[in-house]
Amino acid sequence: MQIRSVALFLKSFWRAAALCAGTVLCSFCICAQSAPRNGSDPSDLILVNGKIITGDARDSIAEAVAIHDGKIAGIGSNEEIRKRAPQGARVIDLHGRAATPGLIDTHCHFDETDALYALELSKIKSVAEAVDLVRQKVAGARPGEWIQGAGWDEGKISDHRYITAADLDKVSPDNPVWLTHTTGHYGVANSYALRLAKISRDTKDPAAGTIDRSADGSPTGVLKETAMTPVRSLIPEFTKEQQRNGLLKMMADFNAEGMTAAKDPGTEGIRWDLYRELLNENKSTVRIFALLYGGRDLDSARVTLARLQAQPKPPQSFGDGMLLSGGVKLFMDGSGGGRTAWVYDPWFKTPAQLDGNNTGYPNIDPPIYRQMVKLFHDAGVHVSTHAVGDRAIDWVVDTYSDLLKQTPTKHLRHGIIHCNIPTDHAIDTMARLQRDYDSGYPETQAPFMWWIGDIYAASFGEKREQRLMPYKTYTQKGIIWAGGSDYFVTPFPARYGLWSSIARQTPSGKQPFGTAESVDIHTALKSYTIWAAHQLFLEDRIGSLEPGKDADIAVWDRDPYSVPTDAIKDMHCELTLLRGKVVFDASATKSR
């Protein structure tokens, strides 16, 4: 930024230019600042002595940033910014620390109600540990009360197998149990729960679902995709109070990771109303771009469309860019870990053993899917479709392409959620759709390669692995993508995604996906900032630190541009601002 433009910009924001800077506070704790004096507004704030990674088009770095009324008033050198700060403006000395735009997660099931009220199974190391946690929970429950948990992953437990009903029956004969897998695409029920759901040896697999069975045909308790519905529909919902607490915890935990915005792909039930409620009460500290599930047929699509049409379309928002009714989410297929995603060549059970001729399956009858998307597209509604397998991705991008040809509406930014193993055809199609229609964007999760990387590597097999999340190829083709976590599939801190985009490493430290598709930190950061903002229709407001944009800023204990790759994974956030307001302060947390 040129000195002159900083000056002009600041002049328009700040009437009286004062020569001396305000009170400098040495730590990040800024609770004790002086009261605003003449010429300053209580919101006036400057950050100085930093390495401010602006994320602008030139990826420029600045020393200082000035904030007025929640917006960035200027960016430049310490001298430029200090000189024009109004007397009494609060000053935060960054002591050389790096700051980035607030990080954005474009696919996050934004809810920690489970973390608060259900069993947390992501850290268990064996089946026995899970069983023991269930035993403890049963001890405090009434007979018949549901026991719920989530987060287990057979790839991370020493037994290297699914948890089964037989494991759980030993400790929960009188309570139904349901434990969701980390991918959310399957889970395990105990025999009590199977009985309640009327699932027995005689039950046939439903359309787009799998009842896992032992050799004699009896259910093992593991249910995949739509086969989960009979059990899940019996579990009572968390109360409104519990769900509200889950959202508030999620917002606080996001802020503690330097994160300020999310695309939530499932705002069913009372979630949307809760978002409105928190916003009205001034308790929202994360921007939310909400999608509504469109179901599996035309009837459900019509119901969803009616609900969406009652809300303003993006980029229109509630709370001045805080909450958007974004559009619809559809599922084209299932999961890579569960081997239910729709692929051309059969899945692998182990790296050396094919899973029979299992090529997964579509979640929606493909021609029906196309009609559903047409309904939304023709109504000018943004669509994001879950597609993991190569065959599913082809079907989704071809659908978008055909419909855009028929009705060439630009800027709907239709997304491909996950987009794990796109074919060359899909890659070329996305490049063309982005260029011609501002549509066809991968909303992808680099941390899959880490958190569920070992089961992923086994299922995809050697030939397909290298094509997983081909970021480098995207950059060569001019494709931009948006990063995310798919929490609770992987932990949500965006630093894991930044690191994974570069390292492509599994929990066991292997690199089965190769590094030919790795990108550098500059590119990875874009996918969690400005490119992510674009997928939230908020790129004019957030995603980079430039004058006129909202001051969503994260301050870090290290500079992601210069530390070794592995150190990115362990970055600590020290301060988070949302529209210039402190929503997280590590020093305040520590001193508490």
Q: Which residues make up the interface to Zn ion (CB under 5 A)?
A: 486
Q: Residue 75 Cβ, how far from Zn ion at the closest point, in Å?
A: 35
Which two three-digit tokens encode residue 313?
């379309």
Q: Which amino acid is at 569?
A: K
Neighbours of 541 (CB within 10 A): 20
Which two three-digit tokens encode residue 495?
């630093």
Cα–Cα distance, 133 to 149 (Å, whole number):
9
- Cα dihedral 366→371→372→373 (10° resolution): 90
Q: Residue 470 Cβ, how far from Zn ion at the closest point, in Å?
A: 20
H-helix or E-strand spanning residue 559: none
Q: Residue 334 Cβ, how far from Zn ion at the closest point, in Å?
A: 11
Q: Which amino acid is at 183?
A: T
Q: 63 or 486: whose CB is closer to Zn ion?
A: 486
Neighbours of 164 (CB within 10 A): 19
- Cβ atoms of 516 and 471 within 8 Å: the answer is no
Q: Residue 267 Cβ, how far from Zn ion at the closest point, in Å?
A: 13
Q: 465 or 486: whose CB is closer to Zn ion?
A: 486
Cα–Cα distance, 167 to 150 (Å, whole number):
16
Neighbours of 147 (CB within 10 A): 26
Cα–Cα distance, 300 to 372 (Å, whole number):
9
DSSP 566: H
Q: 439 or 445: whose CB is closer to Zn ion?
A: 445
Q: 176 or 389: whose CB is closer to Zn ion?
A: 389
Q: Residue 294 Cβ, how far from Zn ion at the closest point, in Å?
A: 14
Q: 93 or 486: whose CB is closer to Zn ion?
A: 486
Distances (CA, A) of 13 to 526, 540, 547: 28, 19, 11
Which two three-digit tokens encode residue 481?
């993508």
Helices 424-437, 390-406: crossing angle, 10 deg rounding: 30
DSSP 236: P
Q: Residue 265 Cβ, how far from Zn ion at the closest point, in Å?
A: 5
Q: Residue 266 Cβ, how far from Zn ion at the closest point, in Å?
A: 8
Q: 386 or 541: whose CB is closer to Zn ion?
A: 386
Q: 422 or 547: whose CB is closer to Zn ion?
A: 422
Q: 152 or 331: whose CB is closer to Zn ion?
A: 331
Q: Residue 310 Cβ, how far from Zn ion at the closest point, in Å?
A: 25
H-helix or E-strand spanning residue 485: none
Q: Is 374 exposed, middle or buried (0-12, 13-18, 19+ CB in 10 A)?
A: middle
CA 313 to chain centre: 21
Which two three-digit tokens encode residue 145?
């009360």
Q: 33 or 459: whose CB is closer to Zn ion?
A: 459
**Across the strands, what pairs with 129?**
none
Q: Residue 363 Cβ, how far from Zn ion at the closest point, in Å?
A: 12
Q: 85 or 536: whose CB is closer to Zn ion?
A: 536
- Residue of this chain nearest to Zn ion (CB atom): 486
Q: Residue 183 Cβ, how far from Zn ion at the closest point, in Å?
A: 9
